[in-house]
Amino acid sequence: AQSVAQPEDQVNVAEGNPLTVKCTYSVSGNPYLFWYVQYPNRGLQFLLKYITGDNLVKGSYGFEAEFNKSQTSFHLKKPSALVSDSALYFCAVSPFSGGYNKLIFGAGTRLAVHP
């Protein structure tokens, strides 16, 4: 079965420190990979995506993600965390190339950045 795993329910980071939010996937073929962020009582905001090319992709708000095909991972990173980054982060996979397909989401990871 196709699935996305976010192994950590919550990640705690001190402001100014680097952060990593982990994501692994089990999907056949060459999927498109996405990260979304959700603030309280808001919809999902697109952060970044990997389709092809350079394994390190850069997105909004200073976030980046590294695609690792052999480990089927797509971890979200940021060099220096801000308190305002505290939110719920979702990794998602679109199983088929072409993009017009449903997203399979991970369960989400709550990021808490402490001052």
Partner 1 sequence: GAGVSQSPSNKVTEKGKDVELRCDPISGHTALYWYRQSLGQGLEFLIYFQGNSAPDKSGLPSDRFSAERTGGSVSTLTIQRTQQEDSAVYLCASTLRDTQYFGPGTRLTVL
Q: Does 32 bind partner 1 (CB under 8 A)?
A: yes
Size of the site for partner 1 (CB under 8 A): 23
Contact call for residues 8 and 107 (beta carbons, < 8 A): no
Nearest to residue 35, comparing CAs of 87, 113, 98, 97? Answer: 87
- Part in contact with partner 1 (CB under 8 A); list of ranges 19-27, 37-45, 61-69, 71-79: 37-45
Judged by CB, which is closer to partner 1: 13, or 111?
111
- Part in contact with partner 1 (CB under 8 A); list of ranges 15-23, 60-68, 79-87, 101-109: 101-109
Measure Cα distances from 100 to 15, 92, 103 in Å: 37, 14, 9
Q: Does 46 bind partner 1 (CB under 8 A)?
A: yes
CA distance 32 to 105: 12
Nearest to residue 63, comparing CAs of 94, 24, 20, 25? Answer: 20
- Part in contact with partner 1 (CB under 8 A); list of ranges 7-15, 17-25, 72-80, 88-96: 88-96
Binding interface with partner 1 (CB under 8 A): 32, 34, 36, 42-46, 49, 51, 90, 92, 94, 99-108
